[in-house]
Amino acid sequence: MVVSTRTPADEGRTRTTMKKSLTALFLASVLCPAVAIAAEPSEPDQTEERAEQVEAVDVKVEVAAGEKRVGELAGIVAWDQAAELSMEVDGHRHVTSVVVHKAGKNLKVQLGYQLDGESILESVEVSAKASRKKIVKSSDGAIAIALTLAPKTVTADELAPKKNHHHIDLPTDNTDPLGGL
């Protein structure tokens, strides 16, 4: 807990310091207008290149096993490009592979699903409408996948895969004070 005590004398010093700062700023702007103009924030330069815009699809995948909701995956996927969305839940690795194609007013989706490396759905092709939930079930009905696809325009940076920061495991020698460095 931080306790701050201020006295009336402190407030008087603060006001005096602020008045001096404002006076100095005013005098500087009168005596040297170029400094005052440079200190003002300028409008963004119109010649700056804007980030490249790319057409893509915002994909939301919900996975359910039986009556239990397992989890949700989401990502931005480029048209006609294969992408994998994965998550780990309760020690199981769920991987959904998606390829989205334009097909007139509808969208064609090639969908695959793996659980712990075992293929549950083998590249099933389904037709879906934009921004509407499409439910796909495995052949035995044990797994249900709900897809929601929303076409959108994004920057190329948003579409690029995130860089993984690799973890470095250092040797654990308890007798070495520098840990092997």
pLDDT digits (tens, 9 = 90+) for 103-122: 888 899 999 999 899 998 88
135 or 31: which leads in pLDDT: 135
Which residues, in sequence order, are CB contacts of 178 under 8 Å at separation 6+?
none
Is 16 part of a structural domain of the chain? Answer: no
DSSP letter (8 states) at residue 25: H
Q: Which DSSP string corresponds to 77-96?
A: EETT--EEEEEEETTEEEEE
What per-residue confidence (pLDDT) applies to 36? 46
Judge whether 172 lies within some domain. Answer: no
Tell whether 167 is covered by a domain: no
- Model pTM above 0.85: no
CA distance readout (Å), 158 to 17, 59, 78? 46, 13, 11
Q: Distance between CA atoms of 150 and 125, rounded to whole angstroms?
A: 18
20 in a structural domain = no
Statement: residue 83 has pLDDT above 70: yes
For residue 58, is it within any domain? yes
Residue at 178 is within a domain: no
Tokens, residue 109: 């989706």
pLDDT score, position 157: 80
Residue 175 lies in a domain: no
Q: What is the pLDDT of residue 103?
A: 86
Mean pLDDT of 138-155: 90
Q: What is the pLDDT of residues 2-57, one digit of tens each?
A: 344 444 454 555 555 555 655 665 555 655 555 444 444 445 544 345 568 888 99
Quickly state the pLDDT bin for 138 (edges 50, 70, 90).
confident
Give how many domains the chain has, as a whole number. Answer: 1
Over residues 67-93, mean pLDDT:
89
Measured distance CA(100)–CA(147) in Å, rounded: 11
Q: What is the domain extent for residue 149?
A: 53-159
Tokens linked to 135: 């439910």
Sequence length of the chain is: 181
Sign of the dihedral through C-alpha 58, 62, 63, 66: negative
Mean of all residue pLDDT scores within the chain = 75
Share of the chain above pLDDT 70, in %: 61
Higher pLDDT, residue 165 or 171? 171
Strands laid side by side in the 83-89 sheet: 83-89, 92-103, 106-115, 118-128
